[in-house]
Amino acid sequence: MLQKKVLPNLNEGFSRITFCQNDDDVKTAVNTYSFLGLFDSLPPGIIGQKSGDAKVQQGIMKFFKKVDTDGNCSQNSAPKHENNENNPRPMGIEKGSEVGKDEQNDFQWNDAPTLAFPSISTSDFQFNMDKASDVIVEAVADFFSKVDKVKLILVDLSSKSKMLSLVKVKASEKNVDTTRFSTYAGDITRLYTGGGLHCNVIANASNWRLKPGGGGVNAAIFSAGGEALEIATKEQADTISPGSSIIVPVPRTSPLNQREGVTYVIHVLGPNMNPQRPNCLKDDYVKGCKVLYEAYSSLFNNFASIALSQNYQKEYSGDSKSEPTKSVCKSFEAVVECQRSSSEQKSKREVSYGSDCNKKSKYNGDSGGLPGMLEKEEQKSERSDHSAKSSWGSWAHALHQIAMHPEKHNLDVVEISDDFVVLNDLYPKAKKHILVTSRLPGLDCLADIRREHLPMLQKMHAAGLKWAEQFSSHDPSLVFRLGYHSVPSMRQLHLHVISQDFDSTHLRKKKHWNSFNTPFFRDSIDVQEEIKMNGLATIKDEKLLSSELRCHHCKSAHPNLPRLKSHIATCKAPFPSHLQNGQLIFALSGSSDAVSAI
């Protein structure tokens, strides 16, 4: 290709050239790509080239120079556009200004991952623009204080946009770095072909159904993405709640990917002030601003999880002799902390999600609204909405992949049925610790469960009892509990079947212990009773994970895990009375029934 001087186009997706000198190199390259996950990528550039080949080196440098000049690889190497209706340009960088010159000459920022996003909730959802602009600037400033090496662009169709003007003024007053945050007047679905901007991640102001429809940005992005984007979205989630966002990889078959080079769309849902739309807050701007801030924080953190993973791979190729730079590690840790903070904020916010949503149930076909979505007034426990896939890091999808395709994980799975799979916990917290995992798409965690899922829970519980019986037949000293974490760390609903000895080298942290020995751990039979009565399960606060360490027998307090484990080994106290209602499963020696509930 280089000899014929035929250059790749943007829609062909070329960013990496690998030289294979022999068959072994070919096999290595194939294996490298075969093991990439959904959210994984390889660092761009030239791999495997012989250093002594000057002609190849010269050809490749010309190749990359040519691509850069054509604007196919770099955001700011694109042809310059005048500020008119036909050729919009970024408004955050005024033509001829020193900031604009510096940005064009700054290679680091030219190559920085960039998110283009619209104003959330200010169109169909009628959120006050002045208040919304305050939230945008605050969210951007807070995000930049924790994560570097990324850029944000606020996009609106018209150069006369009130929102763009408000944000520019307020960002300047707050001293937000204009080399990292700018505004752009133009079509968010034609950033490259219409304005020369190469943003591989864009945000969509979605509706709660995550479907095409309505007007504005949502309709435009789904239309530009085509059927491929709609299908990819359905694979990630069915609905989204206010204050949440969801990452959707854009398939190569999508026109949005082929024409504009967009590889990720992040759907985000903000608060609603329009009485004609679901979940109207009725001008409650105290709650509205809080939810809007959470929406932007979720959006930015999900973008950072994409961008920083790519930066990490650029600086750390996997060579055992090299280490990632401190700046990348620091940024990655900051993103994790941002996501944790966002999750904690959500856990404090009560989600009223079904009263305005007349949605057809995916599972039972009812058209009278989501069963059990209305929370009773007397139910004061706060619930966090962890059903949005946005909160899951790329590593957290492993359990989901096993549940959806167990045939590809024969070494991990010990039982497969149409409804669930059973597998050993990869990091068991006791002598026996297995996971009974639902295979129902869209059922990610306890917060997703409704009445129509009760038969699924009963089947999972029965499977858990069967395995507890099998384990106890080999070791009658084992006592088991079956239950769910209020907020799981892995996507896809799973039931823990765990022996109460907690004898494991993987039980190393305070949160490990408290996740199974505080109300954060919801017993399976209690969850089933709540679903029968209320249509949903109570979600306990994650603050319980930081509770003091107490013995699960006598409830004595201990300063650290080694001391607690030493105490457990000799503690002869019975289990507490609140676990005497069927929560504990133990072996009955000399009985035909191998397992019984206390």
Catalytic amino acids?
494
- CA distances 376 to 371, 379, 535, Å, are 13, 5, 10
Distances (CA, A) of 250 to 9, 254, 266, 491: 18, 7, 10, 20
| Cα distances (Å, whole numbers) of residue 527 to 285, 353, 437, 446, 583 | 34, 20, 16, 9, 11
Q: Please answer whether residues 406 and 438 qualify as being in contact, where contact means their C-beta atoms are separated by less than 8 angstroms.
A: no
Residue type, 405: H
> Whose CA is closest to 265, among 237, 305, 225?
225
Helix, strand, coil % (nearest 5) of the chain? 40, 15, 45
Give the whole-angstrom CA distance, residue 587 versus residue 213: 57
Per residue, the 3-state secondary structure of 425-436, as one string, reads: CCCCCCCCEEEE
Q: Which residues neighbour 213 within 8 Å (Cβ) at sequence distance 6 or greater?
A: 207, 219, 222
Phi, psi of 389 (to 5 degrees): -70, -10
Q: Please, which residues have CB within 8 angstroms of residue 188's CB and are 6 or more apart in sequence? A: 116, 118, 155, 202, 217, 220, 221
How is residue 335 written in tokens?
A: 């993103």
Strand partners, 116: 153, 202
CB-based contacts of 203, cutoff 8 Å, min separation 6: 115, 116, 117, 118, 245, 265, 266, 267, 268, 299, 303
Which residues make beta-bridge pairs with 422? 415, 436
Task: Say how many C-beta atoms besides its own lie within 10 A of residue 565's C-beta.
Answer: 16
Rg (CA), the chain: 27
Q: How far apart are CA 545 and CA 511, in angstroms?
A: 5
Compute CA 402 distance to the chain's CA centroid, rounded to the nearest angstrom.
Answer: 18
